[in-house]
Amino acid sequence: MLTEAEQALHALQIGKRIVSISKDGRQVQYSQASISELRFYIDEMRTALGLPARRLPPAGVRL
C-alpha cells in the first residue's frame, strides 16, 4: 500500500492528472488538487510502520 501511494504521488508530481490507489478496500482517486491529502495518507502509513515521515526542506540560516 505504501509503495502504491508513493508511486501515485510521483505520477502526480511528473504531470499525471489523476491517479487511483486502493485504500481500505476501495479505490480512491487523487488529483493535483488533492495532492496534499495523498501526502498526508503516505505520512500516516509511514508513521504506522515506524518509518520517518516525509522530510521537510532545510529551514535556512537565521542571523
3-56 pLDDT, tens digit each:
999 999 999 999 999 999 998 899 999 999 999 999 999 999 999 999 888 766
How far is 28 from 22, CA to CA, in rounded Å?
6
This prediction's pTM: 0.78
HEC per residue, 6-26: HHHHHHHHCCCCEEEEEECCE
Residue length of the chain:
63
Which residues 6+ apart lie within 8 Å of 55 measured at CB? none
